[in-house]
Each structure stands twice: as structure tokens, then as C-alpha cells.
Chain A
Amino acid sequence: MAEVHLKTPLTEADVRKLKIEDTVYIDGHVFGIRDATQIRMFDEGVRAPADMTGGVCIHTAPNVKRGANGKWEKVCIGTTTSTRMNRFYPPLMRDYGVRAMIGKGGFLQDTVDAMKEVGGVYLAIVGGAAALETMQIEEIEEVWWEDLMPECLWKFRVKAFGPLIVAIDANGNSLYKTIKDQAAEKMKAMGL
């Protein structure tokens, strides 16, 4: 259960060495994406206008306001459930070179398998702890696809972004699966 500080962009080696329940803090950039963003990218086939090679993404739709200079400024930025966007992570890794996804709730087995093959990790943030996340985001650097507000493609500059728990590693291990397997055994023993 090591504490690891990583700087973006990440390499395959960076993510392959992370182990389940390691705690990660990120410096650099994180891309914000959500349902509508990925429907446009993968179901409508529109190429995202951002270089995400070695990138870290977060499942989010932030609260923002227009600053005096017309720039989007943070109000509250937090994390949404990843599981319903399970099918988009394999193409994010394969077509865009994304190496880490920050979210809550985790991914399903087919995506865990793809992460092992390509070299990607899933970093669990504490869902609902958005005040903390907001303070760790220094600036909203870029926003694409504003017509999808708030489900745009966002680029945030972050400092010591975390704690993030390695919940699915790049070697086929999922903490969610381990916990659920144990829960299934315990429920069987309840004799209901």
C-alpha cells in the first residue's frame, strides 16, 4: 500500500507498476469527460480535439461560472459513477492513449481485461468529496464542446490531486471484484 506521486503524461511503465490499494497523487493535467462527451466521441464518431496520449481522465461534469475575462472558472468539481460508462474506457485507451481513469464505482470485467492488455489503471477517488477536489484543481485550462454543457470535454491543471486509491490495476486485478466475491460468500453464509 505504497504512496505514489505521478506527473502527467503517464507512461505504460508508470501504470504497470501500480498495485491494488496504493495511494496515488497526480500533478499535471486531467481531462474531464462524461456520458454525453463519450457518446459524441465513440457513438457519433467525432474525434475529440485534444491530445490525450498518456493522459489521465476523470468522470465529471463540473459546476462552473464565467469569469470577468470570459474564461470558465471552477465553482465545484467532483466525480460521477464510472460503471455506466464502462464500455468507453477500452476505446479511450486504444484510440486516444489514455493511461488512467479517475472515478468512483469501478468498471466491469471486460474493461478490467482490456486494461490488462493495453496497460491502463483505474484510480478510485472518494465520491462526493468535491470540495477537496475543487481545491486541488488549480485552473480550467481548456473547454471543448461547450454545447454539451456541463458534459463538455474539460482540461484541468491539478496539483497533488488525491488521495486516489488504485482499485483496478494494469495486471487484471480489481479490488471491487475481490470485495464482491467476499460479499457473495458472506451472503451465502447468512442462510437467507
Chain B
Amino acid sequence: MTTIATETIYDTIEDVAKQLYINALTNIPQDVRKALARSKDAEVAAGNQTASKVMLTVLENVKLADEKDMMVCQDTGLPIYKCVIGTDRHIDIVEMKKRLKIGAERATKDYPLRSSSVHPITRKNTQTNTGQGLPIIKLDFVPGDGLEITMSPKGSGSENMSFLKMLLPSDGVKGIYRYVLDCVFNSGGNPCPPVILGIGLGGTSDVAAGLAKEASCFRKIGTVNPDPVIAKMEKELLDLVNQTGIGPQGLGGATTAMAVHIEWAHTHISQNPVAVNMQCWRGERATATIDVDGNVKYL
């Protein structure tokens, strides 16, 4: 059932993969901009001089990147593409993955972007921002004929502040709070706060880590977990994290996190997995949809 129309869709996917990488680095999302402005207001209102200076510099930088069409931050990150595919779409996943990789490589060569990808042992830079296992591609399937691609160039200052612990069932909610606060405390200014704090609860260890990444990188600020018990935990943890006073860049202040997002899965009777993943203040993410006729819409 191969037609010209289905072949050109892969050219479109490749172009979108390239453009999303550049968009994510140059144009930070609206929900993040609003949260940054709220953070600045909170620091000014609290009379925190250094934190206010930091947040004003952050906002000036975002504005400058808009005006000069520049990257907001120098970290090209590790490219992650999350693809949500309609089951009526009949996409060749192998071809799509190949094209996403080529798109990331074209962005790197044409912009040009710094390549941040190295071999874990030899530390040799591939100079492409891709390599074995890169880009990271996440697939999800939904009913219908849609195709939505979200790109997150995950920065390393925040990614290095990732944590996983298999707590005990008897540790309960208190144990989870204590562990998350320890993670925030140990991270200090390294993840470029105010962060989006992503938490994965339950599942197996790898599932918890994946949920934490979903929570930090792919959820919009302002969204609330639909489960009221989890939503309450998000609210309470945000309050506790900001009570630490670690603040913007770890230099002190009222806003250590802009948001706490929790995603969860059921787990084993003997397990209580908690994973923490942080997203730096730039909250980089860009999304596009490609309809059945090949029309692209950047959201």
C-alpha cells in the first residue's frame, strides 16, 4: 500500500525533527515563560535581592534570544523525541526512527549546534548529537490518525541531578517526601533552579525513571495530575521544596521549583520506587503535529 503520499511523509518527519530541535533551543514554551515571570515576581516581593537579579537576568536572556533569534542556553542536550502515533496512521516505525535521527543530525550541521554526544568510555565526540541509542525515541500509540512529535533537548546540568531509590512500602508518603527533599538539597544550584521537578512513583525501577522524565520534560506547567491524591502531593511537595530556600541558581530565594509534576504506575506489594528527574528553568520543549495530508503545525 505504498503511495507517493506515504513516502513523502518521512521527508516531512525528517524536516520536522530538524526544526523542532532548533525551535526547542531558541524559543522556550509559553507555560515556562509565565512560570519564570511568577518566580521573578515572588523574589521581588520577598525582597530577595540576589534572587531577583538572577530572575531578571533570566527574563532578559529569554527576551534577547527572541529578538536576536538565538539559542536561550548553550546546552544542546541529548535529543529526545516523543512520538504519539494514531493507530490508523500506518507509520513505518523503522523508517520514522531513521528520519528522526537524520533530522537531528541536519539541525546540528546546518544551524550549527554544538555536538554534546560522546562515547561513554572513550569520550570521543560523534560531532552529530546522535550515536548509538541517540536520539532517544519514545513511542506512544493512541486511537485515530494523528501524529504528534515533541522534542526535548535534555540539558545535562539538570539530567546529572537524577535519582532513583527503591524505598520500602513502610516508608510511605513521608518517606517519599523526605527522599525528594534530600534530592533537591543535594542538587543545590546544579540543575539551574527554579526547576520543573519530575517525580515517578511505582512500577519497576526503569518505569519509575521513565515516568519521572515524562513528568519533568513533557508535562506543561499548570497541569495537575488527574488523581486527587497525587495532585495533593504535587502541591504539598512544591510548597516544601520552596521552603528550603535554595532558590534560583542555588544562591538563595523563594523559588527553587516552578512546578512539581508526579506521574505514577501501580507497583509490587514489596516495592515503593521513587525516581526524581529535574528540568532546568529553560524547560525546553517543542511540539508539532503532522496531519494525514502532510500538513505541519508547530504548536
Contacts and interface: CB of A to CB of B under 8 A. Distances in A.
20 contacts: A21-B49, A62-B74, A63-B74, A63-B113, A63-B114, A76-B74, A77-B74, A79-B74, A81-B160, A83-B190, A128-B73, A130-B61, A130-B74, A131-B68, A149-B127, A176-B251, A182-B252, A184-B185, A192-B174, A192-B177
Given A80-B156, A163-B57, A105 B188 contact: yes
Given A1-B49, A127-B192, A61 B74 contact: yes
A53 interface: no
Nearest to A190: B240
B71 A130 contact: yes
A187 B181 contact: yes
Interface stretch (B98-106, B146-154, B217-225, B241-249): B241-249
A126 B54 contact: yes
Contacts of A57: none
A131 B189 contact: no
A165 B75 CA distance: 21
A23 to B, nearest CB: 7
Interface of B: 49-50, 53-54, 57-58, 60-62, 64-65, 68, 70-76, 111-116, 123, 125, 127, 155-157, 160, 174, 177-178, 181, 185, 188-190, 192, 240, 243-247, 249-252, 280-282
Interface residues of A, number: 51
B190 A81 contact: yes
A151 B58 CA distance: 25
Contacts, number: 163
Contact of A63 (B57, B112, B155): B112
Given A124-B189, A131-B61, A131-B62, 7 more contacts: A21-B49, A61-B116, A105-B189, A133-B74, A163-B57, A176-B250, A183-B246
Contacts of A184: 185
A87 to B, nearest CB: 16
Nearest to B62: A131
A180 B251 contact: no
Nearest to B64: A131
Most buried by B among A135, A180, A182: A180
Given A132-B64, A165-B53, A105 B73 contact: no
Nearest to B55: A126
A173 interface: no
Nearest to A187: B181
Interface of A: 1, 21, 23, 36, 60-65, 75-81, 83-84, 104-106, 124, 126-135, 149-151, 163, 165, 167, 175-176, 178-180, 182-184, 186-187, 190, 192
Contacts of B64: 131-132, 135
Nearest to B240: A190
Contacts of B112: 63-65, 75
A149 B112 CA distance: 13
Contacts of B54: 126, 165
A192 B243 CA distance: 13
Contacts of A186: 243-245
B251 A149 contact: no
B68 A135 contact: yes
Given A104-B192, A165-B53, A62 B247 contact: no
Contact of A132 (B60, B75, B160, B188): B60
A178 B245 CA distance: 11
B73 A187 contact: no
A104 B191 CA distance: 9
A134 B188 CA distance: 25
B156 A132 contact: no
Contacts of B71: 63, 75-76, 130-131
A63 B72 CA distance: 12
